[in-house]
A and B are shown apart, each in its own frame.
Chain A
Amino acid sequence: MVSVCFYFQVHQPPRLRKYSVFEIGHHNGYFDEHKNEAIIKKVTHKCYLPTNRIILDLINRTDGRFKVAYSMTGIVLEQLEKYAPEVIDSFKELADTGCVEILDETYHHTISYLYSKDEFKEQVELHNKKIKQLFNFKPKVFRNTELVYNNEIASFVEKMGYKGIIAEGADHILQWRSPNFLYKPKGLKNIKLLLKNYRLSDDIAFRFSEKSWKEFPLTAPKYAQWVSKINGNGNIVNLFMDYETFGEHQWEDKGIFEFLKHLPSEILKHKDNDFITPSEAINMYDAVAELDFPHYVSWADIERDLSAWLGNKMQQEAIKEIYLLEPSVKLSKNYALIDEWRKLQTSDHFYYMCTKWFNDGDVHKYFNPYDSPYEAFITYMNILNDFRIKANKLGEVNIIR
């Protein structure tokens, strides 16, 4: 038996407006609403709406045998409500089929766990509320931003009541083991670990349109064959990827939608295969062993570590400074201020400052609104310095009271 477990990440960051040093102290708006709206609308038409339609159709056509899971950040949902409410309706429709599971994560797509556990918990709770409010769904499985994971996070998340958690099936952790089983986080009893099968996931997410790839072009029958081969060596294939893979990263004219439309029937041709959601997997399969993740692992780059967000001094400084503001921000009890502070924590801001791949015109550039990591840092620090003035003012007022 091979169960295919799809989970799609839906996220769009709150992109910042170019903010010069001369604006520090003027408290102008930080976010580029114009650009954010334009991107949301573009991705809505290239990806969200057409892909949702295909998924819904697949669920209906297979009588609910096709299933998927989504994790949607609070900030993408907010932006969709504002700029493309039809996408929210479409996700509601999907949620109503009962074949769609929704996962929890940090509302603001942050790596706050590393800096403030209180803040992390609050952001997860905010997300939980948002999902309840929009989809009337209570998530039981957790995925951390960028799949940042270690033993300690698993333990913290277990205490928050989650039954499952998602991580990268990193080679250096798995070694000889296979990602195609459920595992148990080290020392824990009440939570199971689902690992991303990054080879099969990346075949779709990264390599699908790559002409130099020896498997190009990738067809649904070929892919279904690879999945079926796992029979006997595993019971679950976790295919985790950005939802924007469909139509935005891999374009429609390269055949990604046709691939998606045909994949479920090809996979279901093999009678031992099925589709399941993460919660179903947790109920259906036992953990085969305990896995030890002493260090942080993420799903980014070859390194699978934190270096995409914290690899250079600019990133380290920027993120340290934003979390140092937590006490005064929270003392202010000012909702707008706290919300702004959280939107400045979104991991993408730090990702844009990464200098690792800046040397070789990488695909990452496509997602970067800045000309260079240095521009990203300058804009961020100018905003942060403006925000600090505001936060200290509002925070102090509260102490005096």
Chain B
Amino acid sequence: MKVLMFGWEFPPLSSGGLGTACYGLTKGLSKKGIGITFVLPYSFDADNANFLKLVSASNIKIKKIASALQPYMSSQEYKKSLDKKPSPRMYGSTLFDEVYRYTLAAEKIAEEEDFDIIHCHDWMTFGAGIRAKKKKNKPLVLHVHATELDRTGGHQVNQYVYDLERHGMHKADKIIAVSNFTKNKVMEHYGVPSEKIQVVHNAVDFSQHYHIENFEIKKTDKIVLFLGRITLQKGPDYFVYAAKKVLEQEKNVKFIVAGSGDMEPFIIEKAAELGIADKVLFAGFLTQDDVDRAYKMADVYAMPSVSEPFGITALEAMKNKAPVIVSKQSGVSEVIKHCLKVDFWDVNELSNKIISLLRYKPLQETLKENAYFEVEKLNWDVPAEKCIEVYSELINKG
């Protein structure tokens, strides 16, 4: 079976869960003998050597399209990123021009390649998928990792993006949603019938083993970690409000905000306004190694997302033995038990749980041990198998 996949760059270059998920799934599929032609946007100024080493398996063929696209990008962010490029004129002048340029290039690849099925990840690749399907008359699978409604929290939805998503979903033969949470969104807001959507939960790569590290900061302070894009979707504002409440009860705690995003200035100002600027540290965007170290350092990893289709970071935190609090408005809360769950808006409860984790050592320990054991079983074999089932069903239908 051969899959033409329109995906995204892999860690350590990726900026979030989408890249991690694409990488994990590709590896899982390849292990099961699925041939993959992997098409990805490729930025000339980035160093891709590591990535090529990561996927040097024989049944994966890489096709690169020179493009400035990155997942989760907004129009403004695209413009900004263009200014930094050495030769900006080779890319489209707006995000949507660039998506179109990518789509045309992808169509060419589809013409040349031999495959049985098309698998696309999130809206920027949907156009490419539809064209490939038209050209070769092969079934199309759309993998929804996030919708425009998640990214914007339902406010100021970009009509162009929403329309492209909706169009793609209706053209597709099958939709894979990363959670029931996302499946419901797709049904409710995009008018897709339930039977057309298969839920395939994400997993975590468990190839590196846990090792203990000592951190200087831990001699004086306990650490509560936020890790993710600092955008409305991830609820960083709830994190700072909770920080304020926790600090009223507990003295030696530092709150680390790792990541970048459009809400960063607001969050920095908010921390200052609440009088906790010295307790909230901004770590910026972290490389994969530093991400792992951040989890290891953390006494609590909090993910107060407003709308989280999955939330792979929770699994990575568990793998690194950080006790986890996730919002109930997340896909990951459907699959893990050994974590604490809160409604994202319930700052009191979030603070209650952070303080409890900081104070009650047996809670931390029991949670960490059981979570590690739990997450070990959540490897990419299962999602890969479920995808193969979807492929087979569509191919047999002809």
Contacts and interface: CB of A to CB of B under 8 A. Distances in A.
Nearest to A361: B337
B356 A21 contact: yes
A373 B338 CA distance: 9
B363 interface: yes
B356 A382 contact: yes
A279 B325 CA distance: 53
Given A317-B362, A355-B366, A378 B352 contact: yes
B360 A377 contact: yes
Given A21-B249, A355-B370, A359-B337, A377 B363 contact: yes
B366 A313 contact: yes
B138 interface: no
B348 A378 contact: no
B337 A358 contact: yes
A136 interface: no
B353 A378 contact: yes
Interface in A365-394: 371-375, 377-378, 381-382
B13 interface: no
A314 B352 contact: no
A225 interface: no
A378 B249 contact: no
Contacts of B359: 21, 381
Task: Tell me if B's interface is mostly helix, strand, loop or mixed.
Answer: helix
B364 to A, nearest CB: 9
B157 to A, nearest CB: 32
A313 B374 CA distance: 18
A358 B336 CA distance: 11
Given A374-B340, A381-B360, A21 B355 contact: yes
B319 interface: no
B288 to A, nearest CB: 29
Nearest to A358: B337
A20 interface: yes
A313 B365 contact: yes
A372 B362 contact: no
Contact of A372 (B337, B356, B374): B337
Nearest to B337: A358
Interface of A is mostly: helix
A22 interface: yes
A334 interface: no
Contacts of B370: 355, 358
Contact of B362 (A20, A21, A22, A316): A316
A360 to B, nearest CB: 10
A312 interface: yes
B341 A378 contact: no
Contacts of A312: 362, 366
Contacts of A359: 337, 374
A371 B341 CA distance: 9
Nearest to A382: B356
Interface in A334-375: 355, 358-359, 371-375
Given A313-B365, A317-B362, A21 B352 contact: yes
Interface in B244-260: 245, 249
Interface in A294-348: 312-314, 316-318
Contacts of B245: 22
Interface string B328-355: 0000000001101100000011011101
A20 B363 contact: no
B337 A20 contact: no
Interface string B138-149: 000000000000
Contact of B363 (A22, A316, A358, A374): A374
Contacts of A377: 360, 362-363, 366
Contacts of B366: 312-314, 355, 373-374, 377
A374 B352 CA distance: 12
Contacts of A22: 245, 249, 348, 351-352
A355 B373 CA distance: 12
A376 B135 CA distance: 58
B240 to A, nearest CB: 18
B242 interface: no
Contacts of B300: none
Contacts of A378: 352-353, 356, 360, 363
Interface in A7-38: 20-22
Contacts of B365: 313
A20 B353 CA distance: 9
B90 to A, nearest CB: 53
B232 to A, nearest CB: 27
A17 to B, nearest CB: 13
A375 B328 CA distance: 14
Contact of A20 (B340, B341, B349, B361): B349
Contacts of A20: 348-349, 352
Shortest beta-carbon contacts, A-B, top 6: A313-B362, A317-B362, A20-B352, A378-B356, A21-B355, A314-B362
Interface of B: 245, 249, 337-338, 340-341, 348-349, 351-353, 355-356, 359-363, 365-367, 370, 374
Given A20-B348, A21-B355, A381-B360, 17 more contacts: A20-B349, A22-B249, A22-B351, A312-B362, A313-B362, A314-B362, A314-B366, A316-B362, A317-B361, A318-B362, A355-B366, A358-B338, A374-B338, A377-B360, A377-B362, A381-B359, A381-B363
26 contacts: A20-B352, A22-B249, A22-B348, A22-B351, A22-B352, A312-B366, A313-B362, A313-B365, A314-B360, A314-B362, A317-B360, A355-B338, A359-B374, A371-B341, A372-B337, A374-B340, A374-B363, A374-B366, A377-B362, A377-B363, A378-B353, A378-B360, A378-B363, A381-B363, A382-B352, A382-B356
